[in-house]
Amino acid sequence: MITSTVLNSFKGVPVLVTGSTGFKGSWLCTWLTEIGAQVSGFALPPKPDAPLFDQLRLRDRIDQYDGDIRNYSLIKEVIEKTKPQAIIHLAAQSLVRHGYQKPKETFDTNVGGSINLLEAVRNSSDVRALVFITSDKCYKNKEWIWGYRENDELGGTDPYSASKSAAENVFEGYYQSFLKLNKNIGAVTARAGNVIGGGDLSKDRIVPDCIRALRAKTPIEVRNPVATRPWQHVLEPLSGYLTLTARIFENPDKITGPWNFGPNTENVRPVKELAEFASKIWGSGSVNVQPDHFAPHESNLLMLSSDKAKSLLAWSPLWGFERCVENTINWYQKIDNGENPLDLTRAQITSYVEDCIT
């Protein structure tokens, strides 16, 4: 959910997005350019198997800096050069399974890289708002049937989840010791659920797996059919990040702490149901349950309570499960039918905003 006041508050504002070349970053940079922000991006160059940034022609449309956030001097230099008033920090090694294969890279990027960012922000006189993205996986997963609240215990048991809870702790240390004392800066963390949307082709994520199988006309292999996830369209958490940024501009002292941006309970569905609905929208395909007994542990149940965002930001999730999946699957199908990715992405953003504002 987003308001026109929030959208209008970005006109002409310099905003730096870290992780700009990734799935969420590409959607966010596109949305920010649509609302007139002066957008800079910092990230590793897009991977060949993740073409969204290029499909959305972002290199021509934002001020993009390719670089590694594990290098302090680089991120510091980019912040000094671009003088952002807001930073939305998305850069991360974002995949649970890759975290098992490359734990050091995951911790170095998600914890060490985040320290570099916080250190550079602490020394900047331009930044007024920092929205620091972690994950729903930062919570200690107790397989509860109710949603986790922002003050629940942190702690992940795999490298990715542990790195995200560690990033939360690092943020808290910087916030309490430095950022809170600087009256010019407001800083928060944001935790969202399993995000889906057009253009994601990451490995070991269910929607990209569905798209690869549907395109190849092979069955969609589902490893963990009973695992339920809080599915949400990418525009939902992004609307939360933009709302947080705008509200920090207005009132940096009041908008503090961590914020959950999850979907409504009706969007919490098993992986198998998502795969079956995706193939229904596609118009063909089938689902094959293929348990992988050697797969690293993945949690079965994880939900977020967004009550804090609902009551203090008037933010709420907008699109139900069917609408999220339809918009996601239609995106890939329309691209395959020759539609322009940027026009399509802009049209989905417009449709989301219209649904919020009407």
Ligand X SMILES: NC(=O)c1ccc[n+]([C@@H]2O[C@H](COP(=O)([O-])OP(=O)(O)OC[C@H]3O[C@@H](n4cnc5c(N)ncnc54)[C@H](O)[C@@H]3O)[C@@H](O)[C@H]2O)c1
d(CA 114, CA 131): 12
- In the complex, minimum distance from the CB of residue 296 to ligand X, in angstroms, rounded to a whole number: 17
d(CA 25, CA 23): 5
Indicate which single residue of 16, 32, 37, 133 sits in contact with ligand X (rule: CB under 6 A): 133
Tell me: does residue 131 bind ligand X (CB under 6 A). Answer: no
Query: Given the structure tokens 């699957």, which residue do they identify?
Result: 329
Q: What angle (nearest 5°) sits at the alpha carbon of residue 54, between those of residues 334 and 279?
A: 30
Tell me: does residue 195 bind ligand X (CB under 6 A). Answer: yes
Indicate which single residue of 91, 115, 220, 248 sits in contact with ligand X (rule: CB under 6 A): 91
Q: Which is nearer to ligand X, 219 or 320 (CB)?
A: 320
- In the complex, minimum distance from the CB of residue 76 to ligand X, in angstroms, rounded to a whole number: 13
Indicate which single residue of 14, 22, 147, 159 sits in contact with ligand X (rule: CB under 6 A): 22
- In the complex, minimum distance from the CB of residue 107 to ligand X, in angstroms, rounded to a whole number: 11
139 forms beta bridges with 154
Q: Which of 75, 32, 2 is nearest to 247 (CA)?
A: 2
Length of the chain: 358
Tell me: does residue 229 bind ligand X (CB under 6 A). Answer: no
d(CA 161, CA 141): 10
Tell me: does residue 274 bind ligand X (CB under 6 A). Answer: no
Indicate which single residue of 9, 13, 25, 324 sits in contact with ligand X (rule: CB under 6 A): 25
CB neighbour list of residue 295: distance below 8 Å, 6 or more residues apart: 223, 224
d(CA 305, CA 315): 12
List C-alpha distances in Å: 264 to 168, 192, 225, 358: 24, 12, 21, 20
Which segment (128-136, 239-247, 287-295, 323-331) binds ligand X by CB under 6 A? 128-136
- In the complex, minimum distance from the CB of residue 51 to ligand X, in angstroms, rounded to a whole number: 11
Indicate which single residue of 34, 77, 202, 305 sits in contact with ligand X (rule: CB under 6 A): 202
Token pair of 40, please? Answer: 């800079």
Tell me: does residue 59 bind ligand X (CB under 6 A). Answer: no
- The residues binding ligand X (CB under 6 A) are 19-25, 43-44, 68-70, 90-94, 109, 113, 133, 135-136, 192, 194-195, 202
